[in-house]
Structures are given as structure tokens and as C-alpha cells.
């Protein structure tokens, strides 16, 4: 049903990267071809967006951002708006990442407001959800991600302006991953919820898997039904590793 969805492999650099790190992004850019089988995006820290967007112009490499404030502008020292990220050259914004939820106490209602801000700016929201280790042990995974999905997505979400990223908290940065069968069960459940709420466009929305995706497990994870790409943390910082993951799609 979703095999026609074009995959997206997105790198989340988190709070990593100085100007010198752009060399890795350039190597990714130069290795991509316009007819490649997947969209490829790098979400560097905000300080590097404008420079990387300039360097990636007229290339297949897409540039995204990490997090934004819900307002377009105003007295919010240190915050950054979706409009500013767009102005710098970002095409998408990651919202609701588990590190934002845990470090900054963000709730799904906050995430929804941020996703609405991303849409207001005309960008794509990459909305992250995922269960903790304790929730998985208690067999609460589907109810937790179902609640997060329902409460984090704006009603105006569609396949063009929204990407879902399923990232089990316990798999992020740990080297642990769910089995392919476990990933399949969650993605099937999410697909059903998206179709039930949004109809046809919910069937076409990309659902990424994230959490310890590496070159040596990407092929198996990306082959899971309803996995439409990956959100990659640590392995996106090195061009060789990131390109090794993209190669799961034969790029
Ligand atoms: P790792 O790939 O480092 O586990 O991080 C995943 C992630 O949080 C991407 O947003």
C-alpha cells in the first residue's frame, strides 16, 4: 500500500557540528544523484543552516532544522521561529524529539503547536514519537505512541507537510534496536491510525524509523513494511556512515 511512498533518509545532527563539520555534509551532497531512490536531508544545528543551505542549493541534498518556537516572532530570548528557519534555508523542522520532551518537558500539546508553526511557515514538520523502555516492558508501546500521535499532529497534517518519526527512546544512541517484527507492528499500527484520521493522505504520509540506525542494520529496518525511511542521529555525522545507510535504498 505504501511501497509507492518515496523514502526519506534524514540526519539529525543534534547539538553537534562546527563549521569544519560541513566537510562531511559536502561529501554527502557530492555523492547524491538527482535520480536517487530516496530523498536525503541533513538537519544541522541552527548555526550551520544558512551556510549548508547555500552549499546544497541546486543539489539533491535537502536541509532541515531541529525544533522551533510556536510563535512567528516576539519576546522569546534564545528561541527561534519556523519563519526564521525557513529564511535560513530549511525545508523541514524536527519537532517533538524525545530529547526535547525529556530535556525541556515538552508535551504532545506543545509539539502540536510547534508542528502548526512549521506548517504556518510553509515547511514540513517531522514529528517524533516513541515509547520508553519501561513503557515497552509494560506492553504499553502502542497505546503510548497512539496517544502521542493523536495529540502531536495538527488537523491540517497531510503527506506533503508532515513526516512521522517513530523513535523508541530506549533505542536512541544505545546501539539497541527493536526487531524487524516489532518495528513492523508499530508502523502498521501508526499507518492504521493515520488512515483512520486523515484518509488517503494518511496512507501516503512518510513514517520514518529512528534509533541506532547504522549501515549494518539499515537494509533490514528499511525493508520493513510501512517504514518509509530513517531518522539518523550519530551515524549521520560521518559521511561514510550516512551514505552507507542511504545505500540501503540502492543509492
Ligand atoms: P541515534 O541514531 O544516534 O540513535 O539517534 C536517533 C535519533 O534520535 C534521531 O533523531
Length, in residues, of the chain = 251
Tell me how far apart the alpha carbons of residues 208 and 157 are, in angstroms, rounded to a whole number.
Answer: 16
Tell whether 110 is covered by a domain: yes
Tell whether 62 is covered by a domain: yes
Tell me how far apart the alpha carbons of residues 50 and 211 are, in angstroms, rounded to a whole number.
Answer: 27
Tell whether 100 is covered by a domain: yes
Which DSSP symbol is given to 247?
Answer: G
1 pLDDT higher than 70: no
48-84 pLDDT, tens digit per residue, is 999 999 999 999 999 999 999 999 999 999 999 999 9
Closest residue by CA, ligand 1 atom 2: 233
116 among known catalytic residues: no
Tell whether 2 is covered by a domain: no
**What is the span of the domain harbouring residue 120?**
8-249
Does the beta carbon of 212 lie inside 6 Å of ligand 1? yes
Tell whether 139 is covered by a domain: yes
Q: How many separate domains does the chain show? A: 1
Tell me how far apart the alpha carbons of residues 245 and 141 are, in angstroms, rounded to a whole number.
Answer: 26
Report the SS3 class of residue 230: strand
The burial of 238, by beta-carbon neighbours within 10 Å (0-12 exposed, 13-18 middle, 19 or more buried), is given as middle
Tell whether 3 is covered by a domain: no
Q: What mean pLDDT comes out for the span 150-163?
A: 98
pTM (two decimals): 0.98
Tell me how far apart the alpha carbons of residues 185 and 8 are, in angstroms, rounded to a whole number.
Answer: 20
Tell me how far apart the alpha carbons of residues 227 and 206 are, in angstroms, rounded to a whole number.
Answer: 8
Domain CATH code at residue 191 = 3.20.20.70
The mean predicted confidence, pLDDT, of the chain is 97
Does the beta carbon of 163 lie inside 6 Å of ligand 1? no
Amino acid at each position: 500500500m505504501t511501497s509507492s511512498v518515496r523514502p526519506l533518509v534524514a540526519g539529525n545532527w543534534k547539538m553537534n557540528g562546527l563549521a569544519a563539520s560541513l566537510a562531511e555534509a559536502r561529501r554527502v551532497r557530492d555523492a547524491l544523484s538527482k535520480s536517487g531512490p530516496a530523498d536525503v536531508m541533513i538537519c544541522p544545528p541552527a548555526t550551520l543552516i544558512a551556510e549548508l543551505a547555500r552549499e546544497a542549493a541546486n543539489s539533491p541534498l535537502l536541509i532541515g532544522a531541529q525544533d522551533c518556537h510556536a510563535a512567528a516572532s516576539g519576546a522569546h530570548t534564545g528561541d527561534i521561529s519556523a519563519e526564521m528557519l525557513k529564511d535560513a534555508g530549511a525545508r523541514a523542522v524536527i519537532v517533538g524529539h524525545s530529547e526535547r520532551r525529556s530535556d525541556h518537558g515538552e508535551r504532545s500539546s506543545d509539539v502540536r503547536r510547534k508542528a502548526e508553526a512549521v506548517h504556518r511557515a510553509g515547511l514540513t514538520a517531522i514529528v517524533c514519537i516513541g515509547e520508553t523502555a519501561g513503557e515497552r516492558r509494560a506492553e504499553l508501546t502502542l497505546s503510548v505512541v497512539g496517544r502521542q500521535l493523536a495529540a502531536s499532529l495538527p488537523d491540517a497534517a497531510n503527506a506533503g507537510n508532515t513526516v512521522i518519526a517513530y523513535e523508541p527512546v530506549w533505542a536512541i544512541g544505545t546501539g539497541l534496536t527493536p526487531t524487524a517484527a516489532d518495528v513492523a507492528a508499530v508502523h502498521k499500527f501508526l499507518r492504521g491510525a493515520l488512515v483512520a484520521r486523515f484518509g488517503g493522505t494518511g496512507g501516503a504520509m512518510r513514517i520514518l524509523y529512528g534509533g541506532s540506525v547504522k549501515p549494518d542494520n539499515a537494509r533490514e529496518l528499511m525493508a520493513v513494511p510501512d517504514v518509509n525511511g530513517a531518522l539518523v542521529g550519530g551515524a549521520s555525522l560521518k559521511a561514510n556512515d550516512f551514505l552507507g545507510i542511504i545505500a540501503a535504498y540502492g543509492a
